[in-house]
Structure 1
Amino acid sequence: MKIAIMQPYVFPYIGYFQLIKEVDKFIFYDDVNFIKKGWINRNRILSNGTDFMFTIPLENVSQFSKIKDIDIDTVNFIVWKNKFLKTIEINYKKAPYFVEVFKLISEVMDLNGKYSISDLAIKSVIKVLEYLKIETPLILSTTKYDNNHFSGQQRILDICKYEGADHYINPIGGKELYDSDFFKGDNILINFIKTKEIKYNQFKHPFVSGLSVIDVLMFNNKSEINNLLLEFELI
């Protein structure tokens, strides 16, 4: 069985969804420390032919707090959300799939009560998976493993063993973090997923790569996106 384990990101890039689609089970790693200036609460969209960073406002941000314990700043979120949705509308209203994707984004951003950034990030990923009809089983690490006494690749190995996995897949950025021999001792194969060069029409501007999945959704239909999700190699 193939599994992947990743921190939850808000509307992550297409490679995140390639990873989810490739595995038999996906674990949201939400009880590890928050990463400041990472991709948990921010990403990039297209604006006037270039990339534009959006950042969701948070309360009491600390790199020593777990992702699940960092709340969205509800005081500032409503103003931020309205501005963000307006930015999406201005930049994508002429995109071929704007209407349905704008509805999806609005539903994700419709929050009632207190939300952690983990809640919102996971909600954004699940909504996209439902839209694309990807049915990979999802698990929150918070709810199952009780292995915080481990860290690093030892904790990942423990989750793999708990799930009965014999194949662990991680994004290519983790290649320097994990030792394949460490996993091999427990008969677990480790691979790294590398997204191939992906291009599609973004109005008439030169292509801007590495944007949030929002951009992919705006310019491609569901069938095209599912084909793009196959554009990777395992290393």
Structure 2
Amino acid sequence: MKLAIMQPYFFPYIGYWQLINAVDKFVIYDDVSYIKRGWINRNNILVNGYPKLMNVRLKKVSQNKLINEIEVSQDLNYNNDLLKTIKESYSKAPFFESVFPIVELVINQHEKNLAKYLAFSIKEVCKYLCIDTEIIISSEISKYNELKGQDRILNICKLLSTDQYINAIGGRSLYSNQDFDLSGIELKFLKTLDIRYPQLIHNEFVPNLSILDVMMFNGPVQTNLMLSDYQLV
């Protein structure tokens, strides 16, 4: 059984979805510390040919809280402005009409818990891209929560009868192949290949934007094909 474990992010880049699609079960790691100025509640979209941050507005943010302890502000005016920015930026994209309703559904949801808010968005994008990987919420797993780092990951792997654990390439320094081998688990890292597509602009291609950019310009079928554009190392 192939497993991946990642914190939830706000419409993350395509590598995140490649990871979900590459495994049998994907754990949303919601019971770890929130990281300020990270990518949990924000990502880049294309505005006038350049990357621009979009954010989920939060209340009482603290790195002393877990992700599932952070609250979404539910600022109606802010959300309307965010939707307006996304609409103006992508209204001429070929798949705007099919993607924008997903954006509206996510941003207009009434969920105040950040982890649940993001889990909902992840599941909605998975539906659009026909990803049928089983999604599991970390805080719902009966595990040894006092463990940290790799030890906690290995504990989850064992509880879920994992044969192969796949992580994003950026976390390579966090894990030991030897420790995973001793636990009978193969450790692999997913490296996204160079993915490019027309963005309806004359500027140089802007990579690593939110999955929204990929979906807006490529639609469900072509984006789904891109989910295989990676290497396991």
Hey, what's the Cα distance between the residues in 1 that align with 2:64 and 2:163? 32
Q: Deviation of residue 166 (structure 1)?
A: 1.1
Q: Name the SS for the 2:5 alignment partner.
A: strand
Structure 2 equivalent of residue 210 of structure 1: 208
Hey, what's the Cα distance between the residues in 2 that align with 1:4 and 1:164? 12
How many residues were matched structurally?
Answer: 232
Equivalent residues of 1:10, 1:120 under 8 A apart: no
Structure 2 equivalent of residue 50 of structure 1: 50
Q: Which amino acid aligns with 1:163?
A: L
Equivalent residues of 1:4, 1:169 under 8 A apart: yes
Gaps of 5+ in 1: none
Q: What is the 5 A alignment of 1:169-188?
A: 169-188=166-185
Per the normalisation by structure 2, the TM-score is 0.97
Structure 1 equivalent of residue 152 of structure 2: 155
Q: What is the 5 A alignment of 1:15-54?
A: 15-54=15-54
Q: Which amino acid aligns with 1:64?
A: N
Gaps of 5+ in 2: none
CA RMSD of aligned residues (A): 0.9
Hey, what's the Cα distance between the residues in 2 that align with 1:7 and 1:219? 26
Correspondent of 1:89 among 84, 87, 90: 87
Q: Which amino acid aligns with 1:84?
A: L
Hey, what's the Cα distance between the residues in 1 that align with 2:219 and 2:57? 31
Correspondent of 2:107 among 97, 106, 109: 109
Task: Tell me the alpha carbon deviations over residues 181-219 of structure 1, each in whole angstroms, 9 at most, x when there is no partner.
Answer: 111111111011010000000003321001000000100
Equivalent residues of 2:143, 2:156 under 8 A apart: no
Q: Name the SS for the 1:81 alignment partner.
A: helix
Question: Where has structure 1 moved over 6 Å in runs of 4 or more?
Answer: none
Determine whether 1:199 maps to 2:196.
Answer: yes
Determine whether 1:9 maps to 2:9.
Answer: yes
Q: Name the SS for the 2:72 alignment partner.
A: coil
Determine whether 1:80 maps to 2:78.
Answer: yes
Q: Which amino acid aligns with 2:36?
A: K
Structure 2 equivalent of residue 61 of structure 1: 61
Q: What is the 5 A alignment of 1:123-138?
A: 123-138=120-135
Q: Name the SS for the 2:59 alignment partner.
A: coil
Q: Which amino acid aligns with 2:56?
A: I
Q: Name the SS for the 1:175 alignment partner.
A: helix
Q: Deviation of residue 119 (structure 1)?
A: 1.4
Q: Name the SS for the 2:94 alignment partner.
A: coil
Equivalent residues of 2:143, 2:155 under 8 A apart: no
Greater mean deviation of Cα atoms: 220-229 or 17-26? 220-229
Q: Name the SS for the 1:16 alignment partner.
A: helix
Q: Which amino acid aligns with 1:135?
A: D
Q: Deviation of residue 146 (structure 1)?
A: 3.1
